[in-house]
Amino acid sequence: MNRVVHPIEQESFRRLRARLDTSHFPPLTRAVVERVVHSAADLEYATDLVTDEGDLAKAHAALHAGAPVVVDVEMVAAGITRRETVCRLRDAESGPGLTRSAHAIRLAYEQVGPGALWVIGNAPTALEELLTLDASPALVIGLPVGFVGAVESKAALRESGLPAVSNVSERGGSAVAAAALNALLYHPTSEENL
């Protein structure tokens, strides 16, 4: 992917690296950590994020092979500017025991089936719903924000054994979830390194 990096972004990453040593991270983990830290201007994400390089490598390959990207809210979609995404929140309805966000995840799964990359940055109930489906995801970026359900839903994601990017704290949100996906999207493929 040919991407022109603006001088402001270059300077921002230079300053980030002057304040945070990320050289010990493997390549894709480093890309995710740096882009998430950059998106939030929050250095603590470096110790809060939970990733697995092997999972990221498989997700990177799936993403660049055209796997669908599903997001929980339009704010996440807005942050992913170089890839079409699926967001079914506008079509969803809440009901007894079902939030609109959870229903949107069901609708999205019906649309894309297994093998997608799921990017959840807003609703813990969306992440909880995804965990009830047999989605066989390429990756779940589970970074919902909040004081109710966020920590618990991210812990459940890690316990599920699904390939994932999550964090331990209440932190999260649309910007950081989109940033984690963008890190994989912007990271060169082996063909681009030739």
Q: Has 38 been annotated as catalytic?
A: yes
Answer whether 173's CB lies under 8 Å from 122's CB: yes
Q: Residue 34: which of 51, 55, 20 has the closest Cα?
A: 20
- Per the residue annotation, which of 38, 60, 103, 187 is the catalytic one? 38
Q: Give the Cα separation of 83 and 189 in Å (integer).
A: 16
User: Which H or E run includes 61?
Assistant: helix 53-64
Answer whether 139's CB lies under 8 Å from 166's CB: no
Q: Which residues pair with 127 in a beta bridge?
A: none
Active site members:
38
